[in-house]
Structure 1
Amino acid sequence: MEAFEPMKDSKYRIYISAVDKALKNFEYTSEWADLIAALGKLNKVLLSNTKYPDIPRRIKIGKRLAQCMHPALPSGVHLKALETYDTIFKSMGTDRLSLELFIYSAGLFPLLGHAAMNIRPILLTLYETHFVPLRERLRPALSGFLSGVLPGLETGSDYFDR
């Protein structure tokens, strides 16, 4: 089986251009509603190209998503960013996620401690769906994962048993 060479695929090059255009929208945001719109455009581009497990501009995407997880931003921005993370993780699959976990964990791991109540179950579902299946491949990021998850779980809360 031949290895995928992205730059030889014209549709992948179009995908890269679309990601660049979607990322450009983040540069012109001045309020949280603009962030939700920019995330929506990025998510649309990613959803229309899920056949490619290799996400273009993944470092920049990871940084933008981490910025959208800032505690001062409303839960609507966090929700839209979590949808984008989910789209990326579904597209790339478990094997690639284990290799690129460092790119996306910076935004996700600190979120649970300050997340709104409606965001917590969505974040925990994201962890259960994409991170727990990594099993031993989560080990390099385990300390960050635990320090992000444990403070957000209170004894007796709805999420504690999860």
Structure 2
Amino acid sequence: METRDAPAEQAGSTIRGYCALYSVPTTIGGEFIETIAPGAFTKTIATGDVLALLAHDWGRVLARQSAGTLRLKDTALGLAFELDADVSTPSGQEALGTVRQRAVKGCSFGFRVLWDDWSDDGPIPTRTIREIELHEISLLANPAYESTSAWVSSRAKTNNAAALQRIREKQRARGILR
């Protein structure tokens, strides 16, 4: 039987996803509807030093922007992230395990609003956030923004030279490769 999964010691330890999507209305605590405007994170990801945490717990740091282990990208869809979980730490192992099994599949973020607009035109107030000072992103089982996502990358982080060698040997044996 052949499989395409990398061995556990070589499996990707990169978690990817979207910690916020733009222009998606979300009801916050039944009190108001919140929407994040495109580009709300642009300044802060260029100048900040954002952390990746488990469940907003500052004692469970997974990655850091200034260390290069957390990469944030402002896309047309929203704020995308990649974090390199360290499997030598309990928090890194927990993050990979719970995201891989889909127990944790969403995100949240800790922030301060720098610019927003409010409207009372609907049945409940509406808030549009235009600029955010981002402090942290978090992997969560039950995020307020249900449209967020997190998944473990299926790409192996290391080149599997032994497997490639076996494939080449089989190709040579069949006369495909000389």
Q: TM-score range by the shorter chain?
A: under 0.3
Whose Rg is larger?
Answer: 2
Pick the structure with more helix per residue. Answer: 1
Structure holding more strand per residue: 2
Q: Which has the higher contact order (CA 8 A, sep 6+)?
A: 2
TM-score w.r.t. structure 1 length? Answer: 0.24
Scaled by the length of structure 2, the TM-score of the pair is: 0.23
